[in-house]
């Protein structure tokens, strides 16, 4: 679609030109009279100028269409005048996705193009997790006088898909809510395991490896040793993707949702590698749900969802969102006896409320909270204090909170909480 408008660039020139012409006649100044005549001619041309005939073709290429997060990708754009008219003033702005910051060069060009000629420009963007579609290039073309301009969009489909590797060495301190499957979470139930739990009277069929031979030799009593059982956990990792969660410490810095999605990827991978059953969900305008499961195919699906699903976009959604309704929907989806790892910056009152409500519904909750607050201004310091207060209130309510300063690695924050909790329930 093309839009044509007048720029009013020569507005007022006619009056000035007539004034100059009158003064030239009055004072017999040929040069002043000539300038008035030229001005009138320019004004007349501008008033009668027609819109330029614009016919452009844009080609966009990227150096890597499947980069990893943080990689620099060079984008080259070539524009060609495929029409028959000379275009004296062409200004082109490329449709860079909002989530991809331009780190080098400029995504724009100003030039003149004769028929059949091309011009090009290049710039560099930093890859961010997700599937990013470039928008059409916007061209503004003016005629020779600059009095009339035509604005048009030139389609050029380009997609950049950024799917990170989710390998990680973090250790997630889960709580003692498990399934009947064997896993890594130590329980208070006796059975087979590695940590001593109790002894009981021998029963026919007990494994000989669990007979307390030392006690038999000492007292003659035949007893069986029981160990603390280790079972698998069923965990759903929920990422807070509400607009209130898209907070960053400064202009151009990564926001809490971006840190949260990174954390979710590491947590999901670690739990699946440890034998737990893991699901994935978003808590925001765009709905994403992956029921708990296990295996390499399940891990690949979770990885793709975190990388490409619109719910985990680096920028907030404009869709309508009813948090109470979405929370009810999430509670219905959660399997019985499943834990929840809730990834949220805790920068408003509803984030802690979600954690408390889920925990009250017998879903033991661990909150992983990337801290997006700063201390440069009084307002920022107040926001940090309020967030710290929310963290304390959750801990007092029995909810485990991993307060993650994003200047350090997630593994350091998780290890600190694991030490405090004794690595258990």
Q: Domain ends where: 229, 255, 280?
A: 229
Residues 133 and 15 in one domain: no
Residues 306 and 260 in one domain: yes
Domain CATH code at residue 365: 3.40.50.410
Classify each residue of 366-402 as buried b or exposed e, where b means 16 or more C-beta atoms within 10 Å of its C-beta. Answer: bbbbbbbbbeeeeeeeebbeebeebbeebeeeebbbb
Instruction: State mean pLDDT over 4-26.
Output: 58
Distance in angstroms (rounded) separating the CA atoms of residues 271 and 269? 6
Q: How does pLDDT run across 145-159, given as a tens digit for each residue?
A: 666 788 999 999 999
Half-sphere exposure of 59 (CA within 13 A, CB side): 7
Residues 20 and 147 in one domain: no
Judged against a pLDDT cut of 80, whether residue 311 lies above it is answered with: yes
Instruction: State mean pLDDT over 203-214.
Output: 75
The residue assigned the tokens 């805790």 is 346
Q: How does pLDDT run across 406-423, given as a tens digit for each residue?
A: 999 888 888 888 777 654
Residues 100 and 193 in one domain: no
Judged against a pLDDT cut of 90, whether residue 397 lies above it is answered with: yes
Instruction: State mean pLDDT over 38-45.
Output: 56
Judged against a pLDDT cut of 60, whether residue 81 lies above it is answered with: yes
Question: What confidence score (pLDDT) does residue 21 get?
Answer: 58
Question: What confidence score (pLDDT) does residue 415 get?
Answer: 86
- The predicted model scores a pTM of 0.68
Is the residue at 167 inside a domain?
Answer: no
Q: Domain ends where: 115, 144, 162?
A: 162
The residue assigned the tokens 């909150």 is 367
Question: What confidence score (pLDDT) does residue 229 get?
Answer: 52
Is the residue at 280 inside a domain?
Answer: yes
Question: What confidence score (pLDDT) does residue 280 get?
Answer: 96
Contacts of 337 (CB under 8 A, 6+ apart): 177, 178, 179, 234, 362
Least confident of 28-37, 175-184, 233-242, 343-352: 175-184
Angle between helices 256-273 and 296-308 (to 10 degrees): 180
Is the residue at 224 inside a domain?
Answer: yes
Average pLDDT, the chain: 82
Question: What confidence score (pLDDT) does residue 214 get?
Answer: 80
Q: Domain ends where: 104, 127, 162?
A: 162
Is the residue at 344 inside a domain?
Answer: yes
Q: How many domains does the chain have?
A: 4
Instruction: State mean pLDDT over 92-103.
Output: 92
pLDDT level of residue 193 (50, 70, 90 thresholds): very low
Which domain, by its residues, includes 199? 188-229
Residues 33 and 86 in one domain: no
pLDDT level of residue 30 (50, 70, 90 thresholds): low
Instruction: State mean pLDDT over 332-352.
Output: 94
Judged against a pLDDT cut of 70, whether residue 388 lies above it is answered with: yes
Residues 410 and 296 in one domain: yes
């Amino acid at each position: 679609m093309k839009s044509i408008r007048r720029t009013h660039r020569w507005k007022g020139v006619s009056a000035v030109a007539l004034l100059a012409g009158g003064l030239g006649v009055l004072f017999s100044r040929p040069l002043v009279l000539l300038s008035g005549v030229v001005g009138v001619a320019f004004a007349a041309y501008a008033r009668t100028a027609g819109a330029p005939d614009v016919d452009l073709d844009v080609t966009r290429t990227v150096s890597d269409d499947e980069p990893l997060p943080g990689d620099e990708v060079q984008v080259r754009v070539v524009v060609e005048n495929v029409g028959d008219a000379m275009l004296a003033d062409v200004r082109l702005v490329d449709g860079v996705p909002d989530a991809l910051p331009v780190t080098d060069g400029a995504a724009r060009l100003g030039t003149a193009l004769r028929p059949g000629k091309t011009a090009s420009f290049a710039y560099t963007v930093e890859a961010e997790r997700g599937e990013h579609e470039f928008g059409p290039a916007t061209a503004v073309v003016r005629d020779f006088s600059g009095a009339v301009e035509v604005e048009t969009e030139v389609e050029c489909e380009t997609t950049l898909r950024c799917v990170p590797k989710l390998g990680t060495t973090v250790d997630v301190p889960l709580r003692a809510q498990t399934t009947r499957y064997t896993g890594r979470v130590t329980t208070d139930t006796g059975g087979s395991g590695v940590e001593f739990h109790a002894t009981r009277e021998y029963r026919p069929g007990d494994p000989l490896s669990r007979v307390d031979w030392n006690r038999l030799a000492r007292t003659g009593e035949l007893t069986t040793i029981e160990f603390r059982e280790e079972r698998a956990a069923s965990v759903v990792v929920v990422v807070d993707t509400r607009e209130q969660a898209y907070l960053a410490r400064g202009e151009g810095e990564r926001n809490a949702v971006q840190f949260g999605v990174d954390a979710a990827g590491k947590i999901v991978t670690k739990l699946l590698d440890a034998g737990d059953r893991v699901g994935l969900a978003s808590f925001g305008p765009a709905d994403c749900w992956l029921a708990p499961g296990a295996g390499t195919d399940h891990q690949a699906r979770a990885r793709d969802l975190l990388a490409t699903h619109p719910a985990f976009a680096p920028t907030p959604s404009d869709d309508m969102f009813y948090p109470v309704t979405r929370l009810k929907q999430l509670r219905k989806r959660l399997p019985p006896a499943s834990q929840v790892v809730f990834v949220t910056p805790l920068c408003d009152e509803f984030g802690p409320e979600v954690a408390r409500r889920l925990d009250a519904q017998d879903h033991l909750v661990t909150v992983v909270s990337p801290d997006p607050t700063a201390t440069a201004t009084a307002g920022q310091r107040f926001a940090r204090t309020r967030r710290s207060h929310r963290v304390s209130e959750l801990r007092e309510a029995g909810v485990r909170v991993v307060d993650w300063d994003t200047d350090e690695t997630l593994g350091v924050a998780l290890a600190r909480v694991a030490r405090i909790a004794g690595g258990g329930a």
